[in-house]
Every structure is written in structure tokens, then in C-alpha cells.
Amino acid sequence: MKGRRQAFPGDEPADVQIHLHRRYHSVMESCRDLQPLVTAVVHPVDRAALEAARDAADEGLITPVLVGPRGRIRGAAEACGIDISQWRMVDARHSHEAADLAVKLAAAREAGAIMKGSLHTDELLQPIVARSSPLRTERRLSHAYAMDTAGYHKWLLVTDAVVNIAPDLEAKADIVRNAVDLWRAFSGSREPAKVAVLAAIEFVNPRMAATIDAAALCKMADRGQIQGCIIDGPLAFDNAVSREAAEQKGIVSPVAGDPDILLVPDIEAGNILAKQLTFIDRADAGGLVMGGVVPVMLASRADSLRTRLLSCALGVLAAREAEGRRGE
């Protein structure tokens, strides 16, 4: 009958989550009064790379320096109607040379960040992580995603889902340190970050290396070997992000149900988790490679405009935080 709602067996009200993107807008707003970060955009020879640079420049986040084959860059810009006349261009014969030149620009302080263009991530990172690289520090490089989803009450960092394939204990310690630096940069908080070390279970099992590493990381934090954070683990994903799940398991922890950072056991777990949050939960997400002299922004063709801009905003804030530490 017209105007009458038909009932079906098992028909129930839908669960609705509303994502207002307030945390995303707060991060963007925190960059409004900062100077654009001079950023070497590596091999931007297609529409996606040039649009990413243009959009970030339009938002006042970066001043692009286009590093790559001059003719291809100009041709791509003309094809998609992007005016690049106001940006510096550094000519390179190919993508390998473009990555090398971006490293030299950053080392010479002619760029405060590096941004991925139309090349593979490993090709971009190779000259950055090389033993002879002037951008290396005592830290291992690692990637962290900052993620905001309607299903969680604050920003959540997921690390490392991009760079380190099967990190050992020493690498995981640096991954945590890098993530804490990023968290401090965009959260503005000087309280200790809460780090949950993920595993399949929440107790130590000698046959599961991830649980042994988790226990060791906790003790390293207790002894001051990893600073600026509270670490707990091993924690399964449910009792890491849900206080109710933790209570049901009898877990008493200042981290469980309220982590700022999720440390994953390996790249597969991190990659799956980050993409699930992005493509199914529609999280706002931005990511950086940290641990080097300058932050590295890894834009992807599949990334949304919001993701690209958030990654650049995180780079601006991370560079400011690093500059502040150097001045202390």
C-alpha cells in the first residue's frame, strides 16, 4: 500500500556511523599560519603527480620543486592544463636520476621534504636509505599512516605498512620512535603516546616471535630505551582498540582501548590493516616516511585528494617538529 513501509523478516534499524572529518580539518587548520614547505616532487610526469603537487600548493602546504625530465613534465602539464611556470624545475634524464637529485636537494637544504611522483616507492627510497645517503640518521626509516575513522575516537597511527618487510626487535624500536615523533608533530601533545604492539594473541608465546618482541619493547620503554611513549603488548587487535574487549579478557592496561599508535608485526599485517581502514571504513589517511633528515610523502594514484593533502600537511608539521628539536 502506498506510503506504508513493508516489513521483512529480521528487519532492524541500520547501524549508522557519521564521519564529519573534524580531525582532518583540525590538522589542515594547524598548517594555515605556517610557511609552505619547499618539496622536491620526484618524477612528476603524469596527471596524478602534477595534480597532487598543484592541490598541495593551492592549499599553501608546499612549494613544489619539480625534479625529472623537463620535456616530459612540461608535456604532461600542458596535457592536463596545469600551470607550472611559477615552480622551479630541476632537469633529470630519468626517474633514477630524479630520485638521486631530490636527495641532493634535501641534503643541501634546498628542499625540506621529498614527495613521490610517477615512480615506484622502492625506486624513490633507494637513494634515501642507501648507506652513503646524506639523508640517513642513526634511525631506521619507517612509514606511518595517520588514520581517522568514524569507528574510533581519535587519530590512530598504523606502522609500518610500507617500508620494513619483517622488522626485527631493533627495527621495531626505531619504528616506534619514528611514529612517536610523527604523533607529537600533528597532535601537539606532550603527553606520552600510547603504543599497542599487535600480535594474534595477548600473551607471550615463545613460539610466536611477535609476542616476544612485544614483551621486549615494553621493557625497553620501562628502562628509557624508547622515550616519549607508554608501550603495551602483545595485544590482539580487538583488545588493543576496544576497552570492552580488553576487560572481557581481564587485561588491565593504560593502552588497551585507547592507543595512539598500532605497531604491526610485519608489512603484510600493516598493509592489510591500513587498506581495510581506508577502503572499507573510509578513514581519512595520510602517511609519511620518517627517520631521515626530511620527511618523505608517498602519494599514490589510488589516493583521494584528502589523503594527498593530509600527507602533505603531516610533512609540514613533521618538518616543523624536527626543526624545533634541532633548535633545542
| Second CATH level (architecture) for the domain 139-289 | 3-Layer(aba) Sandwich (3.40)
**228 with 173: CB under 8 angstroms?**
no
Residues of the chain with pLDDT under 50: 1
The segment(s) of the chain belonging to CATH 3.40.50.10950 are: 23-137+292-328
pLDDT reported for residue 232:
97
Cα separation, 146 vs 288, whole angstroms: 9
Q: Give the SS3 label for residue 31.
A: coil
Backbone angles phi, psi at 307, to 5 degrees: -65, -45
Q: Beta-carbon neighbour count of residue 201 at 10 Å?
A: 14
Average pLDDT of the chain to the nearest whole number:
91
Q: What is the pLDDT of residues 50-68, one digit of tens each?
A: 999 999 999 999 999 999 9
Closest CA to 129 of 285, 8, 227, 121: 121
The one-character DSSP state at 167 is -
pLDDT reported for residue 327:
57
Q: What is the DSSP string of 47-82?
A: HHHHHHHHHHHHTTSEEEEEEE-HHHHHHHHHHHT-
C-alpha cell belonging to residue 253: 592496561
Q: Which residues contact 251 (CB under 8 A, 6 or more apart)?
A: 202, 235, 239
pLDDT reported for residue 189:
84
Q: What is the pLDDT of residues 191-246, one digit of tens each?
A: 999 999 999 999 999 999 999 999 999 999 999 999 999 999 999 999 999 999 99
pLDDT reported for residue 299:
74
The segment(s) of the chain belonging to CATH 3.40.718.10 are: 139-289
| Second CATH level (architecture) for the domain 23-137+292-328 | 3-Layer(aba) Sandwich (3.40)
Q: Which residues contact 141 (CB under 8 A, 6 or more apart)?
A: 125, 128, 129, 163, 178, 289, 290, 291, 292
- H or E element, residue 90: strand 88-91
Return the exposure string of 58-76: e unless at least 16 CB atoms fall within 10 Å of the residue's CB, then b.
ebbbbbbbbbbbeebbeeb
pLDDT reported for residue 20:
61
Computed over its alpha carbons, how large is the radius of gyration of the chain? 21
pLDDT reported for residue 1:
44
